[in-house]
Amino acid sequence: MTEQSTTRTRRRGVTEQQRPLWLLTPGGLLMTLIILVPLLLAVYISLIDLDQYTLRRWLDAPFIGLRNFTEAFESGLPRSIWISVSFAVISTAATVPFGIAAAVATQNAFRGRALVRAVFLIPYVLPSFVVATVWRTMLQPDGIVNTMLAKVGVDGALWLSGPTSFWTLILVEIWAAWPFIYLMALAGLQSVDGEVHEASAIDGANWWPKLTHVILPYLRGPVLLACLLATLHHINNFTLPYVLFGAPAPDDVNVMPMIVYVTSFQGLRFGLSAAMAIVSLLLIAIPLFAYLRALRLDVHEDGGRK
Amino acid sequence: MGRRRMRAVVAVAGAVTLAAGLGACGGGDEGGGGGAGKTLNVLIGANTQYPQEFRAWQKSIADRFKAQTGATVEFEEFATANDELTKIQTSVVSGAGPDVYAVGTTLTPTAYSTGAFVKLDDERWQKVGGKERFVPATLGISGPDQQNQVGVPFVSRPFVMAYNTELLRAAGISRPATTWDELREHAKQLTKGDQYGLAVAYKDNFDPWKFVWGMSVQAGNPLVDGRTARLQDPIVRQAYQTYFGWVTTDKVVDPAAIGWTNSQAIAEFAEGKTGYMALTSTTAAKALDDGAVKGKWSFALLPTVPPGAASRPATGVEAASILSGDNLLVADYSDNQDLAFEFVKMATEQDTQLDYYKAVGNLPANAAALQTLQSDPKLAPVAQAAQKSVATPFTGAWADIQLAMTNVVVQSIPDLSKGSVSDAQLDGRLADAQKSAQSALDRAK
């Protein structure tokens, strides 16, 4: 907050014509080199027939227009999109209550709170590879999960193959991702002014009305942002399905990153996989764009638009 | 402000990484010709089992090469075949990178299809000691035909079975099975109580297609006929049925095997309660000797008579294993090609190969060196498997075909757990596999 106000005072001294835009050149060059060039290259590759046979002279690879895109849609891509989107949405929706509940529960000081907060973060700080390896071991047909279930008289499932694998992926993703919502919700709670608590106490609000009418509205912004980021992260998650299920993956967890990976690095069809990657990029851009428009994050009070 | 500064820092870091990466790529080709002051870069698979022995071997050959030619050899290691493929891709695009690649046999057709490796004419074969220096079978995947060879055989890693000598003796079985039907019968005899006849890694990403390929080739279907895929075929169907049948109908495999990778299956076999380990290689020896099965196991050839037959049909091939191991390939962008071939010659000499075998346990591709190992009774079946190895079809499409064949098993696992894969399900999956294999062959150039 204070930073923003100092920014404003500093900017006021410079008129729009005088802005030293040239200072952006180094950053602009780097952005071009690191983001724009590879992106344009990916678009170009998606339009050519690039595979192991043409790789060596890739600039001479035949230009085939949108054929890679039509092939992508005729092959498994639409199904992968559906799997990815449903996986991401379900995972996000399921992690929100956990995250908020944990944040609210650790808001008030109690003995051992620091420890509990640290423990909550463990799934989040563990590398994805480790999480997936441990879960894969536990979910083997004769693994610890099925053994425990058998002890309480429940038939175990085939977690890592077939239709169940989709729910396994969601389960593990929830386990690994809820602390992110928790962190964002916790940050939101910190910004609730002490006066607000006092005011609601004076008004005689019980904990439930206070939670639903006072606290949660404060969390709306951070949690919505967290949902957006988490969903994008779920859609892009490659390590988890790859390590859990291997490649080729069961059809039910053939998410977009998996299909792009298999097409590129096992099938060696770089053109086709670039087309798939661009489709998934566009897909990811939709919620991002909608959110940015809705929140107007791109417009500062002192920005270009007034 | 803070965020923007952060972004700039990240951007600069990215650029530095990128530049470092490009620098590393270009590091491979200073100088030209052969001799003193030159550096030869060799890309080779990392050995996680015997890392120290592997480094010692690298140092010893590098020292000898330096003494002989004055050139320095630098080894670069890759962890998985995919890493190597990525390295080949980037080197091919940039025209710079390692001079010599040790490439796995099933990856050799893919490497060949990039056209980035030096073809060996008679003169070059002479430079590396002549074709007669090698075990004839190992030359089977050097190239699509005699005139277009790029790979010089370096090591063999043929696939074999391992069996528990004690359990077989107790069951009254005098010698390991030589036909697939006999293997099933043995496995049935060996399955009782908490003991199983066979260990099979159904969830492995590389094992399953090797069974199907072997049984099919032995029954006379090479899977690829010119530019036609032959996966939708009664022979292939029977191969899958046999492979699935072990766990569904014969029940000679632990039901948990539908979740096993190869190393898990090895670990099970090492506990001493399984008759046969269906697919393994010499690299497993250490794991087996660390287990309860120590001193009670032996290697055996995989069966070479197709399922449902007592002898191999006339069109069948005596394929004991896929031709497995590594080839040495010289990059055509290399400025040190002569030096590279000198290195290849040294690496395939009898003594170097035997040293390598002693260091890491990979069998020599050098015929004379392999001959000296035949006398070891433990190794005899493996050496025999090396001689009876048959190359998988040499086509750039093979990677896709292999993937399609594995996918049939991956998608069938839920049905395996339920106890049966119906004909309709299998046929549907074979049709998918056929389609993707054929489309890969159609694209092959």
Q: Is residue A13 part of a domain?
A: no
For the segment A152-211, what is each residue's pLDDT rounded down to a tens digit? Answer: 999 888 999 999 999 999 999 999 999 999 999 999 998 888 888 888 888 888 888 888
> Could you tell me where the beta strands, DSSP code E, fall in B67-191?
72-78, 100-104, 152-156, 160-164
Confidence of residue B18 (pLDDT cuts 50, 70, 90): very low
Closest CB to A52 among B7, B18, B396? B396
Closest residue by Cα to residue A210 from A222, A198, A223: A198
From B5, which residue of chain A is nearest by alpha-carbon distance?
A27
A33 chain-B contacts, CB cut-off 8 A: 15, 18
For the segment B267-310, what is each residue's pLDDT rounded down to a tens digit? Answer: 999 999 999 999 999 888 888 999 999 999 999 999 999 999 99
Q: Is residue A110 part of a domain?
A: yes
For the segment B375-427, what is each residue's pLDDT rounded down to a tens digit? Answer: 888 889 999 999 999 999 999 999 899 999 999 999 999 999 999 999 999 99
Two tokens, residue A218: 């404060």
- Preferred mutation among B84, B194, B204, B205 to probe A, highest tally of A CBs within 10 A: B205
Q: Is residue A174 part of a domain?
A: yes
For the segment A232-290, what is each residue's pLDDT rounded down to a tens digit? Answer: 999 999 999 999 998 889 999 999 999 999 998 888 899 999 999 999 999 888 888 88
Residue ranges of B 294-353 with Cβ closer than 8 A to chain A: none
CA distance B252 to chain A (A): 17
Structural domain range at position A197: 48-294
B425 has a chain A CB within 8 A of its CB: no
For the segment A215-237, what is each residue's pLDDT rounded down to a tens digit? Answer: 888 888 889 889 999 999 999 99
Contact B403 A266 (CB under 8 A): yes
What pLDDT is recorded for position A14? 63
Per-residue pLDDT for A1 more than 90? no
User: What pTM was estimated for this model as a whole?
Assistant: 0.85
* Mean pLDDT estimate for chain A: 87
- Preferred mutation among A2, A48, A52, A67 to probe B, highest tally of B CBs within 10 A: A52
B26 has a chain A CB within 8 A of its CB: no
Q: Position B93: which residue type?
A: V
| Residue A151 CA: distances (Å) to CA of A81, A145, A154, B259 | 38, 10, 7, 20
What pLDDT is recorded for position A117? 92
Two tokens, residue A108: 């008030």
What pLDDT is recorded for position B13? 43
Q: Is residue A3 part of a domain?
A: no
**Cβ neighbours of residue B88 closer than 8 Å, sequence gap 6 or more:** B101, B103, B111, B114, B116
Domain CATH code at residue A111? 1.10.3720.10
Confidence of residue A10 (pLDDT cuts 50, 70, 90): low
> Could you tell me where the beta strands, DSSP code E, fall in B289-435?
297-300, 321-322, 325-330, 363-364, 389-390
CA distance A262 to chain B (A): 9
Per-residue pLDDT for A301 more than 80? no
Helix orientation angle between B234-248 and B423-443, rounded to the nearest 10 degrees: 130
For residues B225-248, average pLDDT = 96
Closest CB to B205 among A26, A51, A246? A246
Question: Range with the lowest mean pLDDT among A55-69, B64-78, B248-262?
Answer: A55-69
Contact B89 A31 (CB under 8 A): no
- B343 or A297, greater pLDDT: B343
What pLDDT is recorded for position B106? 86
Per-residue pLDDT for A6 more than 70? no
3-state secondary structure of A20: coil
HSE-CB at A129 with a 13 A cutoff on CA atoms is 0
- B138 or B89, greater pLDDT: B138
Percentage of chain A beyond pLDDT 90 is 60
CA distance B416 to chain A (A): 10
Two tokens, residue B414: 């839920």
From A138, which residue of chain B is nearest by alpha-carbon distance?
B259
Best-predicted range by mean pLDDT (A44-58, B55-69, B370-384): B55-69
Per-residue pLDDT for B8 more than 50? no
What pLDDT is recorded for position A296? 64
Query: Rounded to the nearest 10 degrees, how much is the dihedral formed by the CA atoms of A19, A25, A28, A33?
Result: 180
Interface A–B counts its CB contacts (< 8 A) at 102
Yes or no: say if A248 and A262 are a contact pair by the CB < 8 Å rule.
yes
Q: Which helix (H) or strand (E) holds B229?
A: strand B228-229
Helix orientation angle between A113-125 and A164-190, rounded to the nearest 10 degrees: 140
Tell me how long chain A is. 306
User: Into how many domains does chain A fold?
Assistant: 1
Closest residue by Cα to residue B75 from B49, B57, B96: B57
Contact B93 A55 (CB under 8 A): yes
Question: Range with the lowest mean pLDDT among A26-40, A41-55, A201-215, B299-313?
Answer: A201-215
- B25 or B175, greater pLDDT: B175
For residues A137-163, average pLDDT = 92
For the segment B92-139, what is each residue's pLDDT rounded down to a tens digit? Answer: 888 899 999 999 998 899 999 989 999 999 999 999 999 999 999 999
Could you give the ipTM of this predicted complex?
0.82
Q: Is residue A68 part of a domain?
A: yes
How buried is residue B440: exposed, middle or buried, by Cβ count under 10 Å (0-12/13-18/19+)? buried
Contact B116 A143 (CB under 8 A): no
- With tokens 């083997």, the residue in question is A140
From B417, which residue of chain A is nearest by alpha-carbon distance?
A158
- Preferred mutation among A7, A161, A168 to probe B, highest tally of B CBs within 10 A: A161
B254 chain-A contacts, CB cut-off 8 A: 142
Contact A52 B203 (CB under 8 A): no
What pLDDT is recorded for position B5? 47
* Mean pLDDT estimate for chain B: 90
Q: Position A221: which residue type?
A: G
* Dist. CA A266–CA A273, nearest whole Å: 11
Two tokens, residue B405: 């064949």
B435 chain-A contacts, CB cut-off 8 A: none
Give per-residue burial for B289-322: e unless 16+ CB within 10 Å, then b: eebebeebbbbbbbbbbbbeeeebeeebbebbbb
Closest CB to A56 among B12, B114, B411? B114
From A24, which residue of chain B is nearest by alpha-carbon distance?
B8
- Please enumerate residues of A whose Cβ is less than 8 A from a Cβ of B: 3, 7, 26-27, 30-31, 33-34, 51-56, 58, 140-143, 158, 160-164, 246-251, 262, 265-268
B15 chain-A contacts, CB cut-off 8 A: 30, 33-34
Q: Is residue A299 part of a domain?
A: no
* Dist. CA A83–CA B107, nearest whole Å: 31
What pLDDT is recorded for position A297? 52
Q: Is residue A57 part of a domain?
A: yes
For the segment B167-179, what is each residue's pLDDT rounded down to a tens digit? Answer: 999 999 999 999 9
B228 has a chain A CB within 8 A of its CB: no
B255 has a chain A CB within 8 A of its CB: yes
Q: Position B268: which residue type?
A: E
B258 chain-A contacts, CB cut-off 8 A: 141, 158, 161
Confidence of residue B340 (pLDDT cuts 50, 70, 90): very high
For residues B51-72, average pLDDT = 94
Instruction: For the beta carbon of residue B270, count every other beta carbon within 10 angstroms.
Output: 23
HSE-CB at A106 with a 13 A cutoff on CA atoms is 22
What pLDDT is recorded for position A84? 95
Contact B11 A161 (CB under 8 A): no
Confidence of residue B140 (pLDDT cuts 50, 70, 90): very high
Q: Is residue A22 part of a domain?
A: no
Closest CB to A248 among B93, B114, B403? B403
- Preferred mutation among B407, B421, B442 to probe A, highest tally of A CBs within 10 A: B407
What pLDDT is recorded for position A155? 87
